[in-house]
């Protein structure tokens, strides 16, 4: 990248789904990704959406425009991954910002990884902020459990998947949302997508998957033997107990696997028949 070339940030925007009413909306994590992009100085922001525009999702897509971008590039009617890859390549982006997981569809959280693999770029997950952009590299803050943060330096280009702990997206304003453009993109190599692959993917959505509201998972019971309020507070705020753990280094894959199985048996995750 030449010295005077601005950073080009492709932001991947999907249609979200409200957790209570299932109405289409801007996806929370994607909106946070766009927020991070908008806060970068001297960066060109290229918002991308793969999918088809219809009356059900237009308002949701437009609410990204309401955050202050003038257009969203729409890559229509394609396999998501291939569309994204083409879109990113043609936009000549050197950073891809996206949410970690979609709010609709499979929501497997794999898209950032698969896209990074296709592009051949490194991926950073759990991004909370971009501290600095240099020529060819970026200094990032990554979220770790319990509010810890890790500073990372990654060479560009890279895919950065935003953590739900990243800054909340700004309010979407109605006026700019209505005026912004959703511009369909003609991508040169979309035709290269094999029909079979697309069919396979859409089949996955329409036939094999059943959607139902997620159930809350039971929490593991923590037995706290605290006598004072201070102890109870400390117990509640403490990190999960890592005392029984073991660090294995330099062991063979088989030994490592056996250790893991042993632990799973101890924790009754596996039973003796070896079934989950």
Interacting residues with other proteins (CB under 8 A): 18, 20-21, 23, 25, 66-68, 170-176, 178
Nearer to other proteins, 118 or 170 (CB): 170
Closer CB to other proteins, residue 18 or residue 205?
18
Minimum CB distance to other proteins, residue 9 (Å) = 21
Structure tokens at 91: 């936009």
Q: Which is nearer to other proteins, 38 or 235 (CB)?
A: 38
Q: How far is the CB of 174 from other proteins (least distance, A)?
A: 4
Quick one: 173 or 269, whose CB is closer to other proteins? 173
| Minimum CB–partner distance for residue 64 and other proteins (Å) | 12
Q: Which is nearer to other proteins, 36 or 93 (CB)?
A: 36
Closer Cβ to other proteins, 26 or 49, answer by number = 26
CB of 100 to other proteins, least distance (A): 21
Q: Shortest approach of other proteins to residue 41 CB, angstroms? A: 15
């Amino acid at each position: 990248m030449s010295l005077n070339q601005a950073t080009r940030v492709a932001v991947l925007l999907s249609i979200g789904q409200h957790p209570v009413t299932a109405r289409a909306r801007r996806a929370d994590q994607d909106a946070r990704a766009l927020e991070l992009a908008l806060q970068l100085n001297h960066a060109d922001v290229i918002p991308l959406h793969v999918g088809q525009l219809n009356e059900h999702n237009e308002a949701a897509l437009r609410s990204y425009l309401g955050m202050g971008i003038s257009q969203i590039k729409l890559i229509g009617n394609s396999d998501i991954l291939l569309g994204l890859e083409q879109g990113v390549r043609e936009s000549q982006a050197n950073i891809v910002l996206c949410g970690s997981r979609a709010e609709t569809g499979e929501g497997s959280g794999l898209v950032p990884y698969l896209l990074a693999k296709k592009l051949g770029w490194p991926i950073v997950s759990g991004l909370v902020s971009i501290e600095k952009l240099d020529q060819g590299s970026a200094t990032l803050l990554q979220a770790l459990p319990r509010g810890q943060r890790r500073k990372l330096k990654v060479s560009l280009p890279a895919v950065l998947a935003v953590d739900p702990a990243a800054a909340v997206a700004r309010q979407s304003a109605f006026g700019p949302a209505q005026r912004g453009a959703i511009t369909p993109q003609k991508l040169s190599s979309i035709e290269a997508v094999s029909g079979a692959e697309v069919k396979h993917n859409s089949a996955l959505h329409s036939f094999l998957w059943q959607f139902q509201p997620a159930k809350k998972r039971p929490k593991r019971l923590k037995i706290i033997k605290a006598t004072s309020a201070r102890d109870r507070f400390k117990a509640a705020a403490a990190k999960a107990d890592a005392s029984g753990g073991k660090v294995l280094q330099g062991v063979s894959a088989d030994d490592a696997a056996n250790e893991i199985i042993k632990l799973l048996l101890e924790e009754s995750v596996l039973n003796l028949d070896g079934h989950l």
